[in-house]
Amino acid sequence: MFEKLKQLQIGKVYENYDLKNLNTYQVSCLAKYLIYPKDLASLICLLTFLKKEQICYRVLGNGSNVLFVNPIFDGAIIKLDCLKQIEIQGNTIVVGASVPLIFLVNKLSNMGYTGLEFACGIPGVIGASIAMNVGALNQEISSVVQKVKALTPDLKIKEFSKEELLFSYRNSFFKQHKDYIILEVTLELEKKDVKEILQTIKENNQIRKSKQPLFYPSAGSVFKNPSHDSAGRIIDQLGLKGKRIGGAMVSEKHANFIINTGDATGKEIYELILFVQKEVKEKCQIDLVLEQELL
Ligand SMILES: Cc1cc2nc3c(=O)[nH]c(=O)nc-3n(C[C@H](O)[C@H](O)[C@H](O)COP(=O)(O)OP(=O)(O)OC[C@H]3O[C@@H](n4cnc5c(N)ncnc54)[C@H](O)[C@@H]3O)c2cc1C
C-alpha cells in the first residue's frame, strides 16, 4: 500500500511515522501513513485513493486540540501545509486552512486589522480553529468569519455562508461533520490604531502566561465550561490539581489543563481525563464535556 501511495506522486508520504512532534501533548503515536499533499488536486487524488482502498484518514492541523489515545493510528494522517496563502483586499482577508493562527494574528495586527487580538496565543491553524470555533476572553473566531470553502465528502468544493457554519460554543458544522475538509477561510476585519491593537495583544498574552502552564506540553483546556460555571474552578474545588496518572498530571496552575510531565502516554492522559470526569460527576453531579478530541 505504501508503494501505491508513493506512486500517486501527490507529495511527501511517510510510513509508520511517530506523531510525537506533531501534537502539542507530545505523546507518541505511530501513524500508518503521514501524508503532505502538494496541492489541492493532490489532496483530491489522495482522498479518492483512500476512500477506494477504505483506509481511514484524518486531517491534522497543529495537533493542539487532539489526544492520540492509542500508540498506533491505523490510517492516514493528512497535513495540509500546501494551503498557506494569505490574500488581503481591503477589509476582506482570504486565508489558506493551514496558516497558523498566531502568525496570522501577528501579521494582521501589525497592519492595523482588529478583531483577532483574543486569539494571539492560540496555537492552532486557522482551518481547525474555525472547526473548533476557538475563543478566549469572551470572544470567538466566529465573530470575524464571513465564509468558508471546504471539500465535501464526495470531493466537491462547496462555499459555506456564515449561517451554514452553525457556530456555537466551541462547535461548528465542521466539528459535527468530520468528513468535510476546510480549504480556505474568508475573514472580515475592521481597521484600528496599530499601537492600541499591539497593546491589547501584549495584555492578552500576559493574562495567558499568568494563568496557563505554557512550559509543559498540553492541548489547552480539556473540558468545555458548563453553562454559568468554569470547568477549572470545579476541578480545582475538588482538590484535583496535581493528581497524576503516570506522566499525566492535572496542572497545578490551571485545573482544566492536563500536562505531560515528560513521558506520558495517550492512554495515561485519557485515564486521567476519565478520572476527573468521574470525580466531578460523583461529587458535583456535573457531566464535564470534552473540548479536546480523542483520536
Ligand atoms: C497552550 C494552549 C492554549 C490553547 N488556548 C486555547 C484558547 O484560548 N481557546 C481555544 O478555543 N483553544 C485553545 N487551545 C486549543 C487549540 O489550540 C485550538 O482548538 C486550535 O484551534 C486547534 O487547532 P489545531 O490546528 O491544533 O487543530 P488540531 O488539534 O490539529 O485538530 C483539531 C480538529 O480539527 C480538525 N481539523 C484540522 N484541520 C481541519 C480542516 N482543514 N478542516 C476540517 N477539520 C480540520 C482535526 O481533524 C481535529 O478534529 C489551546 C491549546 C494549547 C496547547
DSSP per position, 158-210: EEEETGGG--BTTB-HHHH-TT-EEEEEEEE-EE--HHHHHHHHHHHHHHHHH
Residue nearest to atom 20 of ligand 1 (CA): 124
Ligand 1 near 63 CB (within 6 A): yes
Distance 292 CA to ligand 1 centre (A): 8
pLDDT at position 197, please?
Answer: 97
Mean of pLDDT values over 150-163: 97
Residue nearest to atom 38 of ligand 1 (CA): 128
- Give the Cα separation of 155 and 138 in Å (integer): 35
Ligand 1 near 134 CB (within 6 A): yes
Active site residues: 170, 221, 291
Ligand 1 closest atom vs CA 136: 8
- Give the Cα separation of 81 and 179 in Å (integer): 19
Distance 23 CA to ligand 1 centre (A): 10
Give residue 56's identity as a one-letter amino acid code.
C
Q: Which pLDDT band holds residue 247 (cuts at 50, 70, 90)? A: very high
- Per-residue pLDDT tens digits for 64-80: 999 999 999 999 999 99
- Per-residue pLDDT tens digits for 266-282: 999 999 999 999 999 99
- CA angle 275-276-278, nearest 5°? 65
Q: In the numeric block, which cell numbers belong to residue 168?
A: 456555537
pLDDT at position 90, please?
Answer: 96
Q: Could you give the C-alpha distances from 75 to 1, 88, 154, 247, in angstroms and in order?
A: 11, 37, 19, 26
Distance 219 CA to ligand 1 centre (A): 8
Read off the pTM. Answer: 0.96
Ligand 1 near 131 CB (within 6 A): yes
- Contact present, 133 and 171 (Cβ < 8 Å): yes
- Give the Cα separation of 223 and 216 in Å (integer): 18
- Contact present, 29 and 72 (Cβ < 8 Å): yes
Q: Could you give the C-alpha distances from 160 to 84, 86, 152, 169, in angstroms and in order?
A: 20, 19, 11, 19
pLDDT at position 50, please?
Answer: 97
Distance 65 CA to ligand 1 centre (A): 4
Ligand 1 closest atom vs CA 214: 1
Q: What are φ and ψ of residue 116, in 5° steps? A: -115, 10
Residue nearest to atom 50 of ligand 1 (CA): 220
Ligand 1 near 22 CB (within 6 A): no
> Phi-psi category of 289—alpha, beta or left, where left has phi over 0 and alpha has psi -120 to 50?
beta
Domains of the chain in start order, with CATH, are 2-79 (3.30.43.10), 86-210 (3.30.465.10), 231-294 (3.90.78.10)
The closest of 93, 76, 98 to 32, measured between CA atoms, is 76
- Per-residue pLDDT tens digits for 38-64: 999 999 999 999 999 999 999 999 999
